A and B are shown apart, each in its own frame.
Chain A
C-alpha cells in the first residue's frame, strides 16, 4: 500500500496573461437576462432544462396511464401515444440531461473549479443559451402544428418518420429536426467554450492532473458531444431534404399506403448508423459528467482521497474513446453481417473493463473512509448501485444472440432507463444537494431531502425492475393498447398497472424536492463558506454565493483536489490553494 507523500513546495510560474476586465452589466436585463456571467447562464440552462424535463415527466405519466389502464384512458389515441413516446425520449436524453450536465453543471462549475473568472468567450456562452431556449420552444411548438408533434420514436428512423403512417409526419417532424439542429448549434457554442476554458483558462498551478474529476468528466463529455453531435446534425439535415426537397438519402423505392413514391436508391440503414454514431456517445455524454461528479461527492463526504486518481482520469478518457466504436450494438436486429456483430459485441464487452475500474475505485475510495451519510453521499451511493445494476443488464443486450429475444422489448426500456435515466438523475440530485449551499448560500432542508431520496431511490427500482421481467416474457416496447392479448398475460398486465401507480406516486413526490428548493432559498440554514469542508476551488471564493468574476485574486494551486486527512494538518483537509509551507503551521487555514 502506498501513502501520500506531503506535497513539495514547487515553483509556481508567473501568470502568462494579464487579468482582463470582464463585461460589466449595466442594467438588470444585462445582469440577469442577457447575462454573460457563466453562473447566471448555468442557472438559466438548469431552470430551462428542468422545466422541459417536467414536461417529459408528465408525458411519461400519460404513457404509463395508457399502458396500465387502457380501458380507463381510451381517450389517448395511438397517435397521441406515439407522440408522447417520441417527445418524452427526446426531452429526457437531449434537452434535459445533456443540457443540464453540460450547460448547467458545466457552466457553473468549470470556471470556478479551474480557477477562472468566467468562460473564455462569455458572449458566445450567452448566445448558446438563447439558441438552446429557441430549440426547446420549437420542440413545444411542434405539438401545436397541424398533425402534431412527430411520433416516429426518439430514434426518428426513416422511412417511417417522414411517411404518412406516422403521426406528425407533416409539420411535426420538420420542427423536430430543426429544433435538433438548433440545439446542436447552441451546444457547439457552449461546448467550444467549455473545452477552451478547461484547456486555456486554468489558474496558475492547476495542472491537468490536478483537475477535480468533475471537470474531467464534463470536459471529456463535451469533447464527445462536439464530435458526436455533427453526425446527428448531418442526419437531421439529410432527412429534412428527403422530406422537403424529395431527395433520397434515406429513402429506397417504396410504397406509401399502396402508392409508389418517387423515392429510390437511398438507404434507411445509413440513417441508423449516423443516428447511433451520435446516439451511443450520447449515453456517455450523460454518464461521464455523472461519473466525475460522483467521484467528487464520494471523496468529500467520505473524507478520503479519491482512490487511483490517474486511473480514474484515464478510465473516463478511455470510455469516451471506446464509446465511438460500439454504436452498431443498437442495430443487432437490423440484419447485419455476423462479422459486424462480432466486432461490435467485442467492443461492447471491452467497454465494461474501464467501467468496472471506476466502480472499483469508488468502492476503494469508500473503503476505510469516514463516511458521512449526507444527502449528496446517499445519492452517490444510490448511483453506484443503480449504475452497476443498470449497466450489467447491458451484458445481455451486448451479446448479439441474447439481444435477439430481448431487443425492442420492455427489457431494453428498463435497461436504459436504469443506466442513463435514473442513475444520472440521482447524480443530478446529489449534485444539487451538494452545490446548492454554494449557489444560494443556504443549505437544503435535510428532512425533505431524506424523504425525497428514499422515495426516488426505492421508487425507481419498483418501477423498473418489473419492466425487466416483462421483457423476458416478450412484451414489446412502443406498443399502444396492449391490454390483455394472451401474449401479454393478465398477470403481466396487472404488473403494468402496478408500475403505473408507482410511477405516478414517485413522480408526484418530486414536488417535495421543488418545495425544498424554494423553501430553502429563503429559510434554509446559512451555509457559510465551505459547509462540506471540500478542497476544490469553487468553495474558496471571497463571497458565497460567488460574484461575477468569481475570485477577488485568482487563487494559485499547490495540490490536487483530494487532500483529505493529511497527517499533521490541523483540519482533516487542505484546500487546493494552500501552499505547503502554510499547512505545517496550520493556523486555521480554512
Chain B
C-alpha cells in the first residue's frame, strides 16, 4: 500500500517514459493508455473504427442534452421565468424528433451489421485451432498439424521469471502464425469459460456440449494477452491467455518440436478440418 502511494507522485513522468520506450508494444494495456488496446487483427481494426463513429455520435448527444439542461436551469428557473407556458404538444416537432433518432440509428445499424457478418466467418481458412476451457486452464489443439494438444496453465507469482507479467504468464503459450486465416473452435469440458484477447478483437464463450466457431488473422508478430471473461468459479481470475504470434517459417519449426514434445497427449487420428469445413 505505502509503496503504491510513493509511486503515485512520479507516475506521470514514468508513463511518458513508458510510452516513449514502448515497452509493451500492444497485447496488453499500458499505463495511462487511453481507449482500446492497439488492434492486431483486421476485425479489431474495424471495431475500433466503428467505435470511433459511435463515440462521436454519443458524445454529441450527451453534450446536447447536458447543454439543454444547463440552458433550461438558467433560463427557466422560478425567478427567470415566472409565468410558465401552456403548450401541451406540437405535432411537427414530435414527428421530427422521432425521425431524427431513427436516422441516426440507421447510420449506426448499417456498418454495425455489416461488420457483424464480417467478424463471424471468412473464406479461405488456412488452419484450425481448437480451444477447450477447463477449470482453470486452457487446452489448445492443432487438428491440422497432427492433432497434438497441450494445456496452458498460469505460472504462479513465486515462479515468475524476470520480465514475465504477473497473472498473465502461462507455462505453454499458444503459438500461431501471422498473416494466416485461422479458424477457432471453442468448447469446454466443464463450465462456461470465455476466450478473450482484446487486441485481436476476440471474445467467445466456450460451452460444454457445444462448439462455437470464429476466426482470426494476426497482423504482426508479438505477444498478445487475454483473460477468461465469463465467471467460471473460484479461480476465474487465474486462467490467462497468451498468444505468441510468429512468422510462418518459425511456426512450421515450432510445430515440429511441439509435435514431439506433446506427442501422446493429443487426441485421435489427425483430421484436416480446415479443408473439409471451409465455405
Using a CB–CB cutoff of 8 Å, the interface residues on chain A facing chain B are 1-4, 69, 71-72, 78-79, 82, 151-153, 155, 157, 159-160, 163, 165-167, 252-257, 265-269, 302-305, 307-309, 311, 333-335, 338, 341-342, 345-346, 349-350, 352-353, 356-357, 359-360, 363-364, 366-373, 381, 384-385, 388-389, 392-393, 395-396, 399-402, 404-405, 407-409, 469, 472-476, 478-494, 497, 564-567, 572
Measured between beta carbons, the chain A residues less than 8 angstroms from B102 are: 353
Closest B residue to A86 by beta carbon equals B231
**Which of B184-192, B250-258, B261-269 makes up part of the contact surface?**
B184-192
The docked-state distance in angstroms from the alpha carbon of A268 to that of B206 is 11
- Which residue from B93, B109, B225 sits with its C-beta under 8 Å from A487? B225
**6 residue pairs from A and B, CB less than 8 Å apart:** A78-B234, A269-B210, A303-B84, A334-B192, A350-B105, A364-B90
**Cα distance A304–B68 when bound, in Å?**
17
What CA separation (Å) do A299 and B29 show in the bound complex? 47
**Distance, CA A350 to CA B202, complexed state (A):** 26
Which chain B residues border A346 with CB–CB below 8 Å? 109, 113
Alpha-carbon distance A473/B235, docked complex (angstroms):
22
Cβ of A78: which chain B residues have Cβ within 8 Å of it?
234-235, 237
Q: Which residues of B contact A392 (CB under 8 A)?
A: 58, 61-62
Q: B69 to nearest A CB, angstroms?
A: 6
| Among candidates B72, B88, B90, B119, residue contacting A366 with C-beta atoms closer than 8 Å | B72
Instruction: Write the B165-188 contact mask toward A (1 if CB under 8 angstroms, else 0).
Output: 111100000000000000000101
Roughly how many angstroms separate A373 CA and B11 CA in the complex, as a whole number?
A: 42
Which A-chain residue is minimally distant from B66 (CB atoms)? A385
Q: Which residues of A contact B207 (CB under 8 A)?
A: 252, 268-269, 334-335
Q: For residue A331, which residue of chain B has the nearest CB?
A: B205
B86 touches A399 (CB 8 A): no
B234 near A395 with CB under 8 A, answer no
CB contacts (< 8 Å) of A381 on chain B: these are 69, 73
Contact of A485 among B51, B93, B168, B228 (CB under 8 A): B168
Known: A356-B97, A400-B112. A167 touches B201 (CB 8 A): no
Whether B47 sits at the interface, judged by CB under 8 Å, is yes
CA distance A508 to B208 in the complex (A): 44
Question: How far is B234's CA from A79's CA once the two chains are assembled, in angstroms?
Answer: 6
* B30 contacts across to A, CB distance below 8 A: 489
Query: Closest CB-CB distance, A347 to chain B, in whole Å?
Result: 11
Known A-B contacts A356-B97, A490-B7; the reply to A472 vs B36 at CB < 8 A is: yes
Q: Is the CB of A402 within 8 A of B47?
A: yes
A491 partner, pick from B32, B54, B76, B84, beta carbons under 8 A: B32
Cβ of A334 and Cβ of B205 under 8 Å apart?
Answer: yes
The answer on a CB contact under 8 Å between B231 and A486 is no
Q: Which of A4, A159, A369, A564 contacts B76 (CB 8 A)?
A: A369
Number of interface residues of B (CB under 8 A): 102
B-side residues, CB < 8 A to A, are 1, 4, 7-8, 11, 15, 24, 28-37, 43-44, 46-47, 50-51, 54, 57-58, 61-62, 65-66, 68-69, 72-73, 76-78, 81-90, 93-94, 97-98, 101-102, 105, 108-109, 112-113, 115-117, 119-120, 135-136, 165-168, 186, 188-192, 194, 196, 198, 201-205, 207-210, 212-213, 225, 227-237, 240
Enumerate chain A residues within 8 angstroms of B77, measured Cβ to Cβ.
370-373
B198 / chain A contacts, CB cutoff of 8 Å: 405, 474
Chain B nearest CB, measured from A80 CB (Å): 10
Q: Is the CB–CB distance between B166 and A474 below 8 Å?
A: no
Cβ A385 vs Cβ B192 within 8 A: no
List 5 additional contacts besides A159-B192, A400-B112; criterion CB under 8 Å.
A2-B88, A157-B192, A267-B209, A308-B88, A353-B101
Contact A484 B234 (CB under 8 A): no
CB-defined contacts of B50 to chain A, threshold 8 Å = 399, 401-402
Min CB–CB distance A336 → chain B (angstroms): 9
CB atoms of B98 and A353 under 8 A apart: yes
Q: Which 7 A-B pairs have the closest CB atoms?
A: A252-B209, A165-B233, A335-B212, A160-B191, A486-B165, A485-B167, A368-B85
- A368's partner among B84, B94, B101, B194 (CB-CB below 8 A) is B84
> How many Å lie between the Cα of A342 and that of B110 in the bound state?
11
Which residue of B has the minimal Cβ distance to A469?
B34
Measured between beta carbons, the chain B residues less than 8 angstroms from A256 are 190
Bound-complex Cα distance A72 to B31 (A): 22
Contact of A371 among B65, B76, B108 (CB under 8 A): B76
Among residues of B, the one whose C-beta sits closest to the C-beta of A495 is B32
**What residues of A have a CB within 8 angstroms of the CB of B76 in the complex?**
302, 366-371
Closest to A371 in B: B77
A1-B87, A153-B231 are known contacts. Are A353 and B105 too (CB-CB below 8 A)? yes
- The answer to whether A254 touches B208, judged by C-beta atoms less than 8 angstroms apart, is yes
A408 touching B203 in the complex, CB below 8 Å, given contacts A1-B87, A345-B113, A484-B166: yes
The chain B residue with its CB closest to the CB of A342 is B113
Residue of A nearest to B33 (CB): A473
**Complex: A307 Cα to B93 Cα, angstroms:** 12
**Chain A residues whose C-beta falls within 8 Å of the C-beta of B186 in the assembled complex:** 335
Q: How far is the CA of A304 from the CA of B77 in the complex (A)?
A: 12
A269 to B8 Cα, complex, angstroms:
45
Chain A residues lying within 8 Å of B83, measured Cβ to Cβ, are 370, 565
Chain A residues with CB below 8 A from B90, complex form: 1-2, 364
CA of A333 to CA of B135 in the docked complex: distance in angstroms? 19
- Give the shortest distance, in Å, between B204 (CB) and chain A (any CB): 6
CB contacts (< 8 Å) of A163 on chain B: these are 190-191, 233
* Closest chain B residue to A153, Cβ basis: B231
CA–CA, A314 to B265, complex, Å?
Answer: 62
* A154 to B, closest residue via Cβ: B231
Which residues on B sit within 8 Å (CB–CB) of A333?
194, 196, 203-205, 229-230
B229 lies within 8 A of A408 (CB)? yes
- Quick check: A490 and B89 within 8 Å, CB to CB? no
Which B residue sits closest to A374, measured CB to CB? Answer: B78
Partner of A307, one of B35, B87, B205: B87
Query: B88 is contacted by which of A253, A305, A372, A408 (Cβ under 8 Å)?
Result: A305
B166 touches A405 (CB 8 A): no
- Contact yes or no, A473 B233, CB < 8 A: no
Answer whether A481 and B113 are a contact pair too, CB < 8 Å, given A308-B88, A389-B62, A393-B58. no
Given contacts A3-B88, A163-B191, A401-B112, contact A478 B68 (CB under 8 A): no
Contact indicator A474/B108 (Cβ below 8 Å): no
Determine the distance from Cα of A302 to Cα of B87 in the docked complex, in whole angstroms: 13
